[in-house]
A = this chain, B = another copy of it.
Amino acid sequence: MKLDLQTELCRRLNITYPVIQAGMAGGPTTAEMVAGVSNAGGLGKLGAAYMVPDAIRDTVRAIRRLTDRPFGVNLFTVDMTDDLSRVREVQRMLDPLREELGIAHGKEDLRTPNWFAEQFQVLLEEEVPVISTAFGVLPDDAMREAKAAGRTVMTMVTTVEEAKLAEEKGADVLVAQGSDAGGHRGTFDITKHPYGANIGTFSLVPQIVDNVRVPVVAAGGVMDGRGLVAALALGAQGVQLGTRFLTSAESGAHPAYKKALLESTEEDTVITKAFSGRPARGIRNAFIDHVENSGVAPLPFPSQNTATGDIRKEAAAQNDPRYLSLWAGQATRLLTDGDRAEEIVKEIIAQAQELLK
């Protein structure tokens, strides 16, 4: 049998099973979720891109109290400089949604914090075993520091070219993210592909595997043991699952978001820049329709994300999924409701073992 759950990736990451939980930014990846996945033998990851550096430190310590297994933290490596040249127009376009929610009109003096250097420093200081990035490779100096400290560097890629570049720059593990994936994917440069490089997971994985030497992890549409075995067959050494953990017991996702996920089908998602200015896959809702029908282009990332923050926050407070970002992959019919992260990993492994028996 050539297909085996104990892959080189497992040895590389010092984990038992090649199941990685995606480090989704914005709150769903709690310390409990990360530790639960790692305790089950997989690799939990904290999505820390939007977190204040001190909060990352606190959460990493909380994870450590819950598990002695390896885990990861995911950051963004994209330029966080604001471009607010069109902020007035965009805020006026968004204001009707604020009126609907009963909050003040949008401000024009926005400013997105750029915490990358401090965030990265926390990961080094707290000895986070796996440093993962989206939207690009670690900057050269950070890469050197991470490698010198013996950390494993994981990079999300969406094309063969990105994969080759990441390998060349020193990434130890590549996550091949197909267009099936939910939320923001890792496309390095959205100038060439304004809606992300949308290569289906099934097509992307073997083409990346054939063009790099480092272990490749499949992401995008992986939901169960069938997906794990399929990914291994395509040449991956493991899988990364994001959406699958959003409806877990430990998920920090808003209850209205979980409900929308559980009620959605494969036909419900779209790729939109409406929330953040970067393309991301989510369940179509009134917010997306409003922005996309407005004729006003979103601000570039991260400014659009900052501009829409008050609306999303208030929608969450009002339990109103119409204006929340409902990030989701294309296989939500395979979701379960309220399983513990640990159970999810165990179930995936049991199903894969059964298929491979």
Residues of A within 8 A of B (CB): 1-3, 159-161, 178-180, 192-193, 197-204, 206-207, 210-211, 218, 220-224, 226-227, 229-231, 233-235, 265-267, 329-331, 333-334, 354-357
Roughly how many angstroms separate A224 CA and B161 CA in the complex, as a whole number? 21
Roughly how many angstroms separate A197 CA and B270 CA in the complex, as a whole number? 11
Q: Which residue of B160, B178, B334 contacts A333 across the interface (Cβ within 8 Å)?
A: B160
- Residues on B with beta carbons closer than 8 Å to the beta carbon of A220: 200, 202-203
- Residues on B with beta carbons closer than 8 Å to the beta carbon of A222: 202
Closest to A333 in B: B207
State the 3 A-B residue pairs at the shortest beta-carbon distance, nearest first: A180-B200, A203-B221, A200-B200
Q: Nearest-CB distance from A70 to chain B (Å)?
A: 27
The reply to whether B233 and A206 contact each other, CB–CB distance below 8 Å, is no
Roughly how many angstroms separate A267 CA and B334 CA in the complex, as a whole number? 29
- Residues on B with beta carbons closer than 8 Å to the beta carbon of A267: 159, 161, 192-193, 197, 199
The reply to whether A227 and B221 contact each other, CB–CB distance below 8 Å, is no
Mostly helix, strand, loop or mixed at chain A's interface?
Answer: loop
The reply to whether A210 and B180 contact each other, CB–CB distance below 8 Å, is no
Closest to A207 in B: B333
Roughly how many angstroms separate A121 CA and B218 CA in the complex, as a whole number? 46
Q: Which residue of B3, B160, B330, B356 contacts A204 across the interface (Cβ within 8 Å)?
A: B330
The reply to whether B203 and A180 contact each other, CB–CB distance below 8 Å, is yes
- Residues on B with beta carbons closer than 8 Å to the beta carbon of A235: 226
Closest to A243 in B: B203
Told that A178-B202, A227-B233 touch, could you supply 6 new A-B pairs with CB distance under 8 A? A2-B356, A2-B357, A180-B202, A197-B267, A202-B220, A206-B224
- Residues on B with beta carbons closer than 8 Å to the beta carbon of A224: 206
- Residues on B with beta carbons closer than 8 Å to the beta carbon of A354: 2
Roughly how many angstroms separate A276 CA and B216 CA in the complex, as a whole number? 38
- Can you list 15 pairs linking A and B with CB atoms under 8 Å apart? A159-B266, A161-B267, A179-B179, A180-B202, A200-B220, A202-B221, A202-B230, A203-B329, A203-B330, A204-B330, A210-B334, A211-B333, A226-B233, A226-B234, A230-B230
- Residues on B with beta carbons closer than 8 Å to the beta carbon of A356: 1-3
Roughly how many angstroms separate A96 CA and B131 CA in the complex, as a whole number? 54
Q: Nearest-CB distance from A207 to chain B (Å)?
A: 5
Roughly how many angstroms separate A2 CA and B46 CA in the complex, as a whole number? 35
